[in-house]
Amino acid sequence: MQTEFRNWLFSTFAVTVFALPVGAALLLTGCNAQDGISAAPTGSAAPTATPTPTVTASAPQSALPRLDGNATVVMSVKGSPITIEVYGADAPITAGNFVDLVEKKVYDGLVFHRVVREPQPFVVQGGDPQGKNPNFPIEQLGTGGYVDPATSQPRNIPLEIEPENANEPVYGKTLDGVKPKLKHTRAAVAMARSSFPDSASSQFYVALADLNFLDGNYAVFGKVTQGMDVVDKIQQGDRIESAKVTQGIENLKVGATSPSSASPTTTP
């Protein structure tokens, strides 16, 4: 089963720039989320879509938002709160990017475009900015990321995973045979990406079960501490009514240079 999930994810990533988790490879793509492993991977619904330019690992990390400490984010879905503890101490860039996008109201109104519960609980994924348009086909969501309105350039962040017993994260590559500090336990919150490691942007997912086979391949940056009962009821097409930082905003540090000012490249 784990191998099938991995294969599904990788085939999805090859088609689009962003992806969601479904195994050891969570990519950004379009989706028929409720169909389980037999569903078309997210993004495969739009195979002719032009890949989104992404910032390479050579972009200075100082240009990206950082979270120097933890923060708390509360999302509202169908009138019910979901509380997420964001771990900037262990994933400063990934957590900083998420908190910054929450502060910018990027997630308000966005759709959960991928929900996989069969044949076994997997993930709930959302965060594609294209979903703010109510006329955008839900089956084509999963291919978009955050674009800075000031520059019209995308923001992508490096894959950031801190090994157990380490003092700082590893960037730009997966961990082979090394356990990460932040694991894919049930309620873990992590970033979706394409097959290119440094392609995560705004799409995130919540693990509906322990998914240890994803550990070291995707960047976990937080955990749902209250409201997993709400997450368990999310259906494809449900929207994030609002998202706000309730604690720890003082830990967010934004670089003076826009990350999108670096020369972009196109993912395969």
- Looking at domain 2-46+66-254, which of 2.40.37.10, 3.90.1150.10, 2.40.100.10, 3.40.50.2300 is its CATH number? 2.40.100.10
- Assign 4 to helix, strand or coil: helix
- Assign 131 to helix, strand or coil: helix
Residue 86 token pair: 């964001």
pTM for this structure?
Answer: 0.79
Tell me which DSSP letter residue 115 carries: E
Find out whether 237 and 71 touch, Cβ atoms under 8 Å: no
- Assign 61 to helix, strand or coil: helix
Domains of the chain: which residue ranges?
2-46+66-254
Token pair 């540090």 in the structure block, residue: 253
pLDDT in tens, the chain (268 residues): 454 444 334 333 333 333 444 443 445 554 433 332 222 233 322 212 223 333 343 346 778 999 999 999 999 999 999 999 999 999 999 999 999 999 999 999 999 999 999 999 999 999 999 999 999 999 999 999 999 998 899 999 999 999 999 999 999 999 988 999 999 999 999 999 999 999 999 999 999 999 999 999 999 999 999 999 999 999 999 999 999 999 999 999 997 443 333 333 322 2
Best CA proximity match to 222, nearest among 16, 11, 75, 23: 75
